[in-house]
């Protein structure tokens, strides 16, 4: 960097420091400026933290590219302005504010409430930590104009975030996300953003604590989503972990209310702790994250492990096989189990049942829905699309939404929360296990029943990281190469349909929102999908292969054959990607 550009960077950093509303953050920047810490300042001033996937998420620290109080005050001012312009009764309906147990979450939630109050919008505040799905539920339950959840979900401890819901209870999508982002860009320095203290906001009835009745209503609502609530086969051991997050008491209380009395809690991970002392990456998908749960499961001979991520919107499930081994279910497998369970065990059966998943999740749910006469949708990646599409289906088609899922451990059952719900899903999974036990089968055997009836699907994901501007160009080159020369076949399978979600080619619904994703549907019901990550410098490839079980054939033999074919499919595709610019 030249001296002139370094001076420009220092000037930008100092201007932000002068406008920062947080004295500690301003002091942090002052130290970096004084030491002329070029590399660090370049990271912190790489551009404003993007208001992207339903809000903000980033590493905690001072600067425009970090997650901090100044960024949140400016974001909330933009949100408030947008609400006042587009929601005429926002000042009477208010905005729900929830938070998880991460570092800086109390301060960010307080600033959010204070800025809303200063704009005349009542802040409806959870006084303690709360799961993300409970905040989503409260949006509808309290008829709020919007909601903000301060959380970084399953990211490492140095992160925090800011998730926004619209008044329909779902995460924001266009035009609201782009409209809010435009308003944020017009907000001046954080120091100039109006804000009321909690005491003053309360005195003006602009800060209202949400009482425990909302939480009780949420528990009542998820209990109602059980399909066999009076099943007598509930006396089996369950291991549950909150992963140092906020789902602990909610999962414990809902399972107890449902009659599951033998729930063993992973004590070391039960209380909220933003440092996540027993795991580096608090995501139940990560290797080692469930070690404590598995050890407790063996000690208690648990039938299943239920694991939430820190904000309790995701759920991992490990279930015991007939031979006694504990085997994790993939996100696709749990989603298929829940979808089939809801479609076949909902009484009375709705006239137009609806299930949905995303374009990178297994196509198996679509086959099940077709076979069972249900409506089925695939949305873009991200639960915000599922939540909003479910509402659209209900309003336009008179559908009854039963279940939605994404392969990254996100599920929701019914209309309790218009977002993924790790607590409600855990309860329905436990209900499903009890039903299976009453029938004399394990969850794994139930999954085999589904696969024998509707096809065996196996899945694999391959990710490749290409950082920086050069990496972005590489990813673009790969996608452009496939668009310029789409393959006629991938390995042994012919391409039957090309779906380009950027251009609209091959999409059954031309009005579907656009995204830089390409999918190749293959003969026999298999599929390959490629897309760039929305948050990391990665290109992701998703492989889904369908295998037909031969009559009398064991599932183990069929799965081994399917896994071999899946490996071959992935290898064939990666060879095609290399021809189109994928570095070796």
Q: Is 319 helix (H, G, I), strand (E, B) or coil?
A: strand
- What are the φ/ψ torsions at residue 308 (nearest 5 degrees)? -95, 160
Residue from 21, 105, 153, 254 carrying the catalytic annotation: 153
d(CA 213, CA 578): 57
| Mean pLDDT of the 235-264 span | 97
Mean pLDDT over the full length of the chain: 94
Which pLDDT band holds residue 93 (cuts at 50, 70, 90)? very high
Q: Check residues 511 and 521 and name the one with the higher pLDDT.
A: 521
| Cis preceding linkage at 46, omega within 30 | no
CATH 3.40.120.10 holds for 49-210 = yes
Q: Where are the alpha helices (DSSP H) in 20-104?
A: 23-34, 38-44, 69-86, 90-93
Q: What is the pLDDT of residue 1?
A: 43
Q: Where are the domains of the chain?
A: 49-210, 229-452, 455-579
pLDDT tens track for 95-114? 999 999 999 999 999 999 99
Place of tokens 């492990």: 305
Contact of 136 with 128, CB cutoff 8 Å: no
pLDDT tens track for 117-135? 999 999 999 999 999 999 9
Residue from 160, 38, 73, 22 nearest 12 by CA: 38
According to CATH, the topology of domain 229-452 is: Alpha-D-Glucose-1,6-Bisphosphate; Chain A, domain 3 (3.40.120)
Q: What is the pLDDT of residue 441?
A: 96
Q: What is the pLDDT of residue 4?
A: 55
Residue 197 is among the residues annotated as catalytic for this protein: no
Q: Check residues 561 and 471 and name the one with the higher pLDDT.
A: 561
Which pLDDT band holds residue 396 (cuts at 50, 70, 90)? very high
Whether the pLDDT of residue 232 is over 80: the answer is: no
| Mean pLDDT of the 401-429 span | 97
Q: Is 100 helix (H, G, I), strand (E, B) or coil?
A: coil
Q: What is the pLDDT of residue 535?
A: 65
d(CA 123, CA 115): 9
The pTM of this model reads 0.95
Q: Do domains 49-210 and 455-579 have the same CATH topology?
A: no
| Mean pLDDT of the 266-274 span | 97
- What are the φ/ψ torsions at residue 56 (nearest 5 degrees)? -125, 150
pLDDT tens track for 278-300? 998 899 999 899 999 999 999 99
> In this structure, which CATH number among 1.10.3720.10, 3.30.310.50, 3.40.50.10470, 1.10.3080.10 belongs to the domain 455-579?
3.30.310.50
484 Cα distance to chain centroid? 33
Whether the pLDDT of residue 2 is over 70: the answer is: no
| Mean pLDDT of the 449-478 span | 91
Which pLDDT band holds residue 516 (cuts at 50, 70, 90)? very high
Q: What is the pLDDT of residue 231?
A: 77
Q: Check residues 75 and 508 and name the one with the higher pLDDT.
A: 75
| Mean pLDDT of the 164-187 span | 95
Which pLDDT band holds residue 397 (cuts at 50, 70, 90)? very high
Which pair of tokens denotes residue 114? Answer: 């204070």
| Mean pLDDT of the 246-268 span | 97
pLDDT tens track for 298-308? 999 999 999 99
Q: What is the DSSP code (8-state) at residue 549?
A: P
| Mean pLDDT of the 15-20 span | 94
| Cis preceding linkage at 555, omega within 30 | no
d(CA 231, CA 411): 23
Residue 187 C-beta-side C-alpha neighbours within 13 Å: 30
CA quadruple 305, 263, 138, 158: dihedral, nearest 10: -50
Phi-psi region of 348 (alpha: psi -120 to 50; beta: other; left: phi over 0): beta
């Amino acid at each position: 960097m030249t001296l002139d550009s370094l001076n420009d960077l220092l000037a930008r950093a100092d201007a932000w420091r002068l406008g920062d509303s947080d004295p500690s953050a301003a002091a942090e920047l002052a130290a970096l400026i004084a030491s002329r810490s070029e590399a660090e300042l370049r990271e912190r001033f790489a551009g404003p933290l993007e208001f992207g996937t339903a809000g903000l998420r980033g590493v905690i620290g001072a600067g425009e590219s970090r997650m901090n109080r100044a960024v949140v005050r400016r974001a909330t001012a933009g949100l408030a302005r947008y609400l006042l312009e587009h929601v005429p009764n926002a000042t009477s309906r208010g905005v729900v504010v929830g938070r998880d147990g991460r570092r800086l979450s109390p301060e960010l939630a307080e600033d959010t409430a204070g800025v809303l109050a200063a704009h005349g919008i009542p802040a409806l505040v959870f006084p303690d930590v709360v799961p993300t799905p409970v905040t989503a539920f409260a949006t509808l339950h309290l008829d709020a104009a919007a909601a903000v959840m301060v959380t970084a979900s399953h990211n490492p401890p140095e992160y925090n975030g800011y998730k926004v819901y619209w008044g329909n209870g779902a995460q924001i999508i266009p035009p609201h996300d782009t409209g809010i982002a435009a308003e944020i860009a017009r907000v001046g320095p954080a120091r100039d953003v109006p804000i009321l203290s909690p005491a003053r906001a309360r005195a003006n009835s602009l800060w209202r604590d949400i009482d425990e009745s909302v939480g009780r209503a949420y528990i009542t609502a998820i209990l109602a989503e059980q399909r066999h609530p009076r099943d007598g086969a509930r006396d089996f051991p369950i291991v549950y972990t909150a992963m140092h997050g906020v789902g602990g008491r909610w999962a414990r209380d809902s399972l107890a209310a449902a009659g599951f009395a033998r729930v063993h809690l992973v004590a070391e991970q039960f209380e909220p702790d933003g440092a996540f002392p027993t795991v580096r990456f608090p995501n139940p998908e990560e290797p080692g994250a469930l070690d404590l749960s598995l050890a407790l499961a063996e000690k208690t001979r648990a039938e299943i492990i239920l694991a939430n991520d820190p904000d309790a919107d995701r759920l991992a499930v490990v279930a015991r096989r007939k031979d006694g081994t504990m085997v994790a279910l993939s996100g696709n497998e749990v989603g298929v189990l829940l979808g089939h369970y809801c479609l076949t065990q909902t009484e009375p059966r709705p006239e137009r049942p609806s299930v949905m998943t995303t374009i990178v999740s297994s196509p198996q749910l679509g086959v099940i829905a077709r076979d069972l006469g249900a409506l089925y949708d695939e949305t873009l990646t991200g639960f915000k699309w599922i939540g909003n599409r479910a509402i659209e289906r209900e309003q336009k088609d008179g559908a009854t939404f039963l279940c939605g899922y994404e392969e990254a451990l996100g599920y929701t059952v019914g209309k309790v929360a218009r977002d993924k719900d790790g607590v409600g899903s855990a309860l329905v999974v436990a209900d499903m296990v009890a039903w299976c036990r009453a029938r004399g089968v394990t969850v794994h055997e139930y999954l085999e029943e589904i696969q024998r009836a509707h096809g065996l699907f196996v899945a694999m994901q391959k990710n490749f990281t290409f950082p920086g501007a050069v990496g972005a160009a590489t990813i673009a080159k790969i996608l452009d190469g496939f668009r310029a020369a789409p393959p006629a076949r991938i390995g042994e399978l012919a391409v039957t349909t090309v779906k380009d979600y950027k251009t609209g080619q091959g999409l059954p619904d031309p009005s579907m929102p656009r995204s830089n994703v390409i999918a190749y549907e293959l003969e026999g019901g298999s599929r390959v999908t490629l897309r760039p990550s929305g948050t990391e410098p990665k290109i992701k490839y998703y492989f889904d292969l369908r295998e037909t079980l031969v009559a009398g054939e064991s599932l183990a033999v069929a799965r081994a054959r399917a896994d071999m074919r899946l490996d071959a499919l992935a290898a064939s595709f990666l060879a095609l990607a290399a021809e189109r610019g994928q570095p070796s």
